[in-house]
Amino acid sequence: MIVSKFGGTSLADAGRIRHVCDILQKNPGRRFIVVSAPGKRFDADEKVTDLLIRAYRGDDRALYMACDRFREMADALNLGMEAEIRALEANLRKNGEDYAVSRGEYLSARMVAKHIGYEFVDAQEMICFRAGGSLDAGATYERTLLRLKPLKNAIIPGFYGALPDGTVRTFPRGGSDITGALVAGAMGASVYENWTDVDGFMSADPKLVENTKCVPTLSYRQMRLLSSMGAQVLHPQSLLPVSRAGIPTHLRNTFAPEKPGTVIATDARADMPCITGRALKSGRSVIAVLYPDAMRLPGKVLDALETEHIRPLSLCAQDDHLLIYVRASHFPDAVRSLHRSLVE
């Protein structure tokens, strides 16, 4: 049994929803599906979640734009969702900001469920937060198993759950990844698929580096390191529920489902270099290089950086990774130089 989560770009318009439903129907093993709010359709577009935040804070135009997005999608799919969209307009500012921003996932899941004919299950019924706002994983697993076990298929909105009094509570942004991992852990999935708009985990940030390559496998320990160093493919909190249960996570591209993607598993290991990084305070940045034999790497790194006349502030080598500290102004050129030397 497979639990699949689809990100916002995968569900940004009616055509993409149709495509996602085609992917689901091609493999009956994909039984429980977690969805995000509609994302950007093009670079200058706005995510529905951002529109809902602005709308809750008083921007009537943003509310109109969000509702218009949903009406356009529902009409194109012949779903007849006017009542749900009018409820959004009427109630958006009445139940708190978490409720408001969660409506993107709620309506997205409603649309996908209606289009494909699967049961809609509200995350408020399963994802449990304590009164203080922290996740109650035990109660979440118990309620998720109880609610989903009798069902053949279900569509579930990501990103939110409920406090003990029923009030909507959201995860941090990107929290649909966490919802998917919790559902996978509770249901004992054979694999947790995470579908996005990239081929998998890439050898470096494609926005910064040309000719990146998809990394076939990673361990959960390696993925946690890369996430802590700035990699944004998965929400870091989504790793624990599946890694504890020994469930592999499979990163897939919605728009190229034939590609193999990246498998993250406890007993897996990267067989090629990965490069990521993040800004630090005081004008510095740190670059993490995942490499099979990192203890032999400093010489190659120094040679690569020398071609860009970059002198690292410090290096820290461990068994399978190297941390390189550079001036923030040198970060882009350093990453590109390291990728040319170690990957291309």
List, in order of start, the domains of the chain with CATH numbers: 2-197 (3.40.1160.10), 274-342 (3.30.70.260)
Q: State residue 143's pLDDT score.
A: 97
Q: State residue 141's pLDDT score.
A: 97
- pLDDT tens for residues 205-226? 998 999 999 999 999 999 998 8
Q: State residue 26's pLDDT score.
A: 95
The mean pLDDT of the chain is 94
Please compute the mean of the pLDDT values over residues 275-286 and round it to a whole number.
91
Q: Given pLDDT bands bounded at 50, 70 and 90, which one contains residue 233?
A: confident
pLDDT at 94 over 80: yes
> CA angle, corner 54, sides to 126 and 5, nearest 5?
35
- pTM, two decimals, is 0.93
Q: State residue 68's pLDDT score.
A: 96
Q: Whole-angstrom Cα distance, residue 68 to residue 99? A: 19
Q: Three-state SS for 163?
A: coil
Q: State residue 301's pLDDT score.
A: 87
Q: Whole-angstrom Cα distance, residue 92 to residue 318? A: 50
Distances in Å between the alpha carbon of 134 and those of 50, 102, 169, 183?
23, 17, 10, 17
pLDDT at 291 over 90: no
**Alpha-carbon dihedral angle through residues 107, 231, 255, 79, given to the nearest 10 degrees:** 0
The more confident residue out of 299 and 246 is 246
